[in-house]
Amino acid sequence: MPTLEAKDIVVHYGALAAVRAASFTIEAGRIVALIGSNGAGKSTTLKALMGLKRLSSGTLTMDGERIDRTSAAHRVARGIALSPEGRRLFPRMSVLENLEVGAHTVRHGARRRNALEQVYALFPKVAERRRQMAGSLSGGEQQMVAIGRAMMSCPSILMLDEPSLGIAPKVVAEIALAIQRLNEESGISVVLVEQNARLALSLAAQAYVFEQGAVTRSGSGQDLLADPSVRRAYLGV
C-alpha cells in the first residue's frame, strides 16, 4: 500500500488560489480526515490529488514517485479513486450499471467480480437493489452506490467527498461503520472530506484542518477532537 504526500500544493481557479501551499501525508492504510468550513479548499484538494485540477506549484508523490503531472487515468491505475461531492450517479441507469462505470479501467473479469463482491459485502442494500434505477434509491443508498463505484477501480487510496451530506443520521452511522470496516479489513487508505467534523475526526487516525486554502492544524483525530480551538470552530462546543 502506497503513501501519498502533498508538498506545498497550490491550486488556482483563475486568479483565485483555492489551495495555498498545503502540505499533508496520506499514510498507507490510514483514515485521514480533511476538515474545514465551506470553501476552505477541501474539494479542490481532492480534485488535485485525483488529477482533475492541475497544481500551480508544489508536488504530489506516491511512494516517493512524482505523480503531479500525470493524468487522472494514470492515477486511477496507480490506485487512487474519488467519490465526488453530490454523488454524481447516473440516475436512469441501474445500480449495477453505475458500479460497472467505476470498473471500466479494470481489465480482468475476476478482479472486477471480486470488487463487486466486496461492494456487496460492505453494502448489502446495494446488492439488494442492484437492478433498480439509481435515481430511485434513497440519498443514503445512493451514497453507498457512489462509494461502491469508487471501490470498483480496486483503489489503494479511496477519497470520499462529503459522504454524510444530506443523509439521515442513522444512515450516516451505517456508512461510517462501513468506511471503518473497509479500512480495517482491506487495509486501504481512506481520505475523508467532511463538514461533519465530529464524525470525520472520530474515524480518522490523522487529520488536517483547512482554512482559506491552507492547512492550519494537524494531529490525530483524537487530538483534534480534544483541541479547544477546533472544538470552538468546528464542533460547536
Residue 131 C-beta: closest distance to ligand ATP, Å: 33
Residue 210 C-beta: closest distance to ligand ATP, Å: 6
Residue span 60-99 as binding mask against ligand ATP, x where in contact by CB under 6 A, dash where not = -------------------------x--------------
Task: Kindly tell me which residue out of 26, 33, 35, 40 binds ligand ATP, with binding defined by CB under 6 A.
Answer: 40
Q: Is 143 in the site for ligand ATP (CB under 6 A)?
A: no
Secondary-structure percent of the chain, ordered helix, strand, coil, rounded to 5 = 40, 25, 30
Residue 193 C-beta: closest distance to ligand ATP, Å: 6
> How many Å apart are CA 214 and CA 23, to the nearest integer?
8
> How many Å apart are CA 140 and CA 137, to the nearest integer?
8
Question: Which stretch, 35-43, 61-69, 110-118, 170-178, contacts ligand ATP (CB under 6 A)?
Answer: 35-43
> How many Å apart are CA 231 and CA 237, to the nearest integer?
5
Neighbouring-strand partners of residue 191: 32, 159
Task: Kindly tell me which residue out of 6, 32, 35, 44 binds ligand ATP, with binding defined by CB under 6 A.
Answer: 44
Hunting for cell 437492478 — which residue is that? 131
> How many Å apart are CA 101 and CA 93, to the nearest integer?
10
Residue 192 C-beta: closest distance to ligand ATP, Å: 12
Question: DSSP H helical segments within 83-138, as ranges?
Answer: 95-102, 109-122, 124-128
Q: Write b or e for each residue in 198-231: b if 16 or more Cβ atoms lie within 10 A of its Cβ, otherwise e.
A: bbbbebbbbbbbbeebbbebbbebeebbebeebe
Task: Kindly tell me which residue out of 38, 107, 110, 228 binds ligand ATP, with binding defined by CB under 6 A.
Answer: 38
Residue 147 C-beta: closest distance to ligand ATP, Å: 17
Asked if residue 6 lies in contact with residue 49, where contact means CB atoms within 8 angstroms, the answer is yes
Residue span 192-221 as binding mask against ligand ATP, x where in contact by CB under 6 A, dash where not = ---x--------------------------
Q: Is 42 in the site for ligand ATP (CB under 6 A)?
A: yes
Binding interface with ligand ATP (CB under 6 A): 13, 16, 18, 36, 38-44, 85, 195
